[in-house]
Structure 1
Amino acid sequence: MSSSSPAPGRAVTRTLSDDPLGGTVRRTVLPSGLRVLTEAIPAMRSVSFGIWVAVGSRDETGPQAGAAHFLEHLLFKGTRKRTALEISSEIEAVGGETNAFTTKEYTCYYARVLDEDLPLAIDVMCDAVADSVLAEPDVETERGVILEEIAMHDDEPGDEVHDLFARAIYGDHPLGRLISGTEDTVTPMTRRQIQGFYRKRYTPPQIVIAAAGNLDHAAVVKLVRQGLRDTPLDTDPAAPAPHRSTTPAVRTKPATTLVEPKETEQAHVILGCPAIDRTDDRRFALGVLNNVLGGGMSSRLFQEIREQRGLAYSVYSYASQYADSGVFAVYAGCAPGKVDEVLDLTRAELARVAAEGITEAELARGKGMSKGSFVLGLEDTGSRMSRLAKGELLYGNLMPVDELLARVDAVTLADVNELAAELLARPMSLAVVGPFDEGAFTR
């Protein structure tokens, strides 16, 4: 269902769905271009409220690498109305919780509270996101925190290998960079640079506010408008920003191998290739294929590598999708001496599925996993709030639950096998973190 935009200058509210598996979803576009979506679920006694900004690490220039994440830290450090302590204590005093996260394509700030405390949560969160002062002492304090976070990440080879794989696929493109930035980019970053990024990127047309739980849509819209009044987000009329362009597609690197030598007890490996973007209709078939290959304990790779041979404790496949690109990959953590065997088995299984496809029984199981995980994942207000925001921010529409389940049901054996033949026969990139020399793996 398309989310059309109103003419600038007036707010327009629409009911998007009255889902039998959820609640009533409504959408209002404010004159500023900011969008508010809610899902009313009267049976709940809590509400999750999130402010989502269509800005992530891929929107940074090279010298700005880490700015979006840096800003995420700073927006809880104080506004013209509240100190950092007041921001946290006001929510915690009513038993609520707040947090935030930065991705490559968006940033989210959220709170979860009792339904009766939603007005407080909206006021606090709108104040923090719209009117942060970014005081110089706070910039310096959070710089130290972020540098420690980067160092901690470097001590986690199971996380580091995913960043190494992103670099193997995307190279110097922003999708290949660390969301946190690096010590070399975070250390010299000034308050002025962060402030410029903040005010240029955090504008109403780029923002979606979503809430789910026991709420009233009109009341939420009114509270949001009050919370943003007389802040930098109280702006002249504008239309919502267009969705992130899907063209031209990101140019990925030729298949390559990257090794990060590190004295670890376990080797961490990822083998994968470029895949489809998030708007590709084949994403439902890819979800099924992923489930069959490495999506659970009954998957081919888990059975072959862990259950039958005991070569690894953790082995799984995954698909990541962006507006204009995507990857499919297999991860395994194993003893360094078993890496070659694990890679050989993984390559052989991928080649087998590319050549022979999957079975009808596997198709049914993969579809069941997709449908079950989606529906079970909607049993709390936070996941429902996220669904509203991502539908609006990333797809421009909210697909009803029944329609999504129908799209999964419609996946055929031919759909999966055709995708497998195309995708799994591609040259594979390899990322390895462990006690190896850089030239230890040859293609």
Structure 2
Amino acid sequence: MTTKQIPVDFTGTVFDGGNGNLVRRSVLPGGVRVLTEAMPTQRSVSIGFWIAVGSRDESPEGYGSTHFLEHLLFKGTPRRSAMDIASAFDRVGGEANAATAKESTCYHARVLDEDLPMAIDVISDMVTSATLDPEEMNLERGVILEELAMDADDPGNLSHEILAERLLHEHPLGRPIGGTADTINAVTRDHVYDHYRHWYRPEELVVTAAGGLEHDDVVRLVTAALDSAGWFATATSDAPAPRRSTQAQEPGLLPGTITVHKPVEQASVIVGGRGFHTLDDDRFALSVMNTALGGGMSSRLFQEVRERRGLAYATYAFAAGYSDAGYFGLYAGCHPRNTETVAEVMVAELDAMAAQTISADELDRAHGQICGSLVLGLEDTGSRMSRLGRAELVTGEYTDLDGALERIRAVGADDVQRVATRLASSERATVVVGPENGREQR
């Protein structure tokens, strides 16, 4: 097993992943970090440009700015129009997109190995030299409002948003990533521009790539692209920005049940509580517990809520972990009259897991499900690229595949029970999104 804690100024080989896969890391002028995983058998490359800024980092007057920027960076630079950016990837059969999260933003692409220079040049141009045209911003404001409306129309998505707000009460992590209609209407171009200039700097940039590549080639291409944009001259430090604090916090929590009425046929029910931050010692045991409780067709929630009682089509357990806080939840979509029963059954399954150790068969299934999914997922260049980015931005901890599998398999039944006990003892909040005329069936 290879697990390494990498300082932010480290340059060199991180680990040998076997089969010719080599993970390497370099620090460029101004603190730009470049990490690659060479996969010699691949003809494609996935590349991501990461900034450690998410919705939790916004100022009160600029809520929604991070997600707004994600949209605006595709709208053009002095060198390229929005159509130029889109057609550059379409022309080679590539894919380009972006994702805003609560603690990071990533602009990523997947292309043939021969088209990697183009992808680096285009994304570098977007990240370093976005125009942020006021007219484009007003047009995109309407697009984002439509996106928020679409999400609000989805009762499952809405229930998750409300749960996060209640479990992370008055904490920046509890805010919706995309902002709200009110904040998007209120945010100005100056707010977005200031947010861009504050966070999009060399010391905050992490570039990760995986696939058919050579590390030195990626370093050379990234260096040339950033240098031509004059970006190294904007650095305020010669070293990378420090990683986020991983000192655990306990945000406020609003217990009890909240019901939101929407004209839908099926209600969404979530019961949740405080969880674990991203470096908690029990994070691997949490993964195994979550899988056994609600991670597949053989899980306890699926078997009890759906198979034995026929109360729901979809039900699962989930956990969200961030640098300093986290939460967990149990979800089901059911007939509105059954919401109380479904919530009680889900909680009962969690409590039962806390009261008694799981069987050897359950533990073996959970191990196999997680390990199999991990191996299959990491056959994809995008998954490996994303794994490098997440590790660099928050934990600085790099583990090869064998090491990750070993950590999962080391989780025992007592570990699962301990984690279930921690979660079962947490204060709980329940969110129900459904029609106004829903009634409990007795």
Alpha-carbon distance, 1:25 to partner: 0.8
Structure-1 separation of matches of 2:388 and 2:246: 21
Cα deviations by residue, 1:223-256 (Å, 9 ceiling, x for unpaired): 0011112436323452111111123614231423
Structure-2 separation of matches of 1:294 and 1:233: 47
- The corresponding residue for 1:184 is 182
- The corresponding residue for 1:270 is 270
RMSD of aligned C-alpha atoms? 1.7
The 8 Å contact of residues 168 and 256 in structure 1, kept in 2 or not, is answered as: no
**Aligned pairs for 1:422-441 within 5 A:** 422-436=422-436
- The corresponding residue for 1:93 is 91
The 8 Å contact of residues 306 and 315 in structure 1, kept in 2 or not, is answered as: yes
- The corresponding residue for 2:196 is 198
The 8 Å contact of residues 301 and 349 in structure 2, kept in 1 or not, is answered as: yes
Structure-2 separation of matches of 1:172 and 1:26: 40
Partner SS state of residue 328, structure 2: strand
**Identity over the aligned pairs, expressed in percent?**
49
Equivalent of 1:231 in 229, 248, 267: 229
Partner SS state of residue 23, structure 2: strand
- The corresponding residue for 2:319 is 319
Task: Give the direction of change, closer, same or farther, for the CA distance of 1:5–1:420 in structure 2 (3 Å limit).
Answer: closer
Say yes or no: does 1:38 pair with 2:36. Answer: yes
TM-score, normalised to structure 1, is: 0.95
**Aligned pairs for 1:3-42 within 5 A:** 3-6=6-9, 13-20=11-18, 23-42=21-40
Say yes or no: does 1:161 pair with 2:164. Answer: no
Task: Give the direction of change, closer, same or farther, for the CA distance of 1:310–1:316 in structure 2 (3 Å limit).
Answer: same
Alpha-carbon distance, 1:371 to partner: 1.1
Give the letter for the 1:310 counterpart: G
Give the letter for the 2:429 counterpart: S
Structure-1 separation of matches of 2:437 and 2:336: 12
The 8 Å contact of residues 34 and 205 in structure 1, kept in 2 or not, is answered as: yes
Partner SS state of residue 384, structure 1: helix
Structure-2 separation of matches of 1:161 and 1:254: 15
Equivalent of 2:82 in 76, 81, 84: 84
- The corresponding residue for 1:2 is 5
State the aligned residue count. Answer: 435
Structure-2 separation of matches of 1:46 and 1:142: 32
Task: Give the direction of change, closer, same or farther, for the CA distance of 1:230–1:315 in structure 2 (3 Å limit).
Answer: same
The 8 Å contact of residues 167 and 251 in structure 2, kept in 1 or not, is answered as: no
Say yes or no: does 1:342 pair with 2:342. Answer: yes
Structure-2 separation of matches of 1:396 and 1:22: 23
Structure-2 separation of matches of 1:257 and 1:64: 30
Alpha-carbon distance, 1:5 to partner: 3.7
Cα deviations by residue, 1:396-434 (Å, 9 ceiling, x for unpaired): 121111111111111122111112122213232101111
The 8 Å contact of residues 278 and 323 in structure 1, kept in 2 or not, is answered as: yes
The range that moved more, 339-348 or 213-222, is 339-348
**Aligned pairs for 1:221-300 within 5 A:** 221-231=219-229, 233-235=231-233, 236=235, 237-247=237-247, 249-300=249-300
Give the letter for the 2:182 counterpart: D
Alpha-carbon distance, 1:436 to partner: 3.8
Structure-1 separation of matches of 2:203 and 2:405: 31
Structure 1 unmatched runs, 5+: 7-11
The range that moved more, 340-349 or 76-85, is 340-349
- The corresponding residue for 1:362 is 362
The 8 Å contact of residues 50 and 104 in structure 2, kept in 1 or not, is answered as: yes
Give the letter for the 2:397 counterpart: N
Structure-1 separation of matches of 2:168 and 2:95: 36
- The corresponding residue for 1:9 is none
Structure-2 separation of matches of 1:214 and 1:36: 16
Cα deviations by residue, 1:317-336 (Å, 9 ceiling, x for unpaired): 01110011111111100110
Alpha-carbon distance, 1:31 to partner: 1.9
Structure-2 separation of matches of 1:55 and 1:21: 34
TM-score, normalised to structure 2, is: 0.95
Structure-1 separation of matches of 2:12 and 2:206: 15
- The corresponding residue for 2:376 is 376
Say yes or no: does 1:353 pair with 2:356. Answer: no
Structure 2 unmatched runs, 5+: none
Partner SS state of residue 430, structure 1: strand
Partner SS state of residue 318, structure 1: strand
Task: Give the direction of change, closer, same or farther, for the CA distance of 1:183–1:5 in structure 2 (3 Å limit).
Answer: closer
Structure-2 separation of matches of 1:292 and 1:306: 15
Structure-2 separation of matches of 1:22 and 1:286: 32
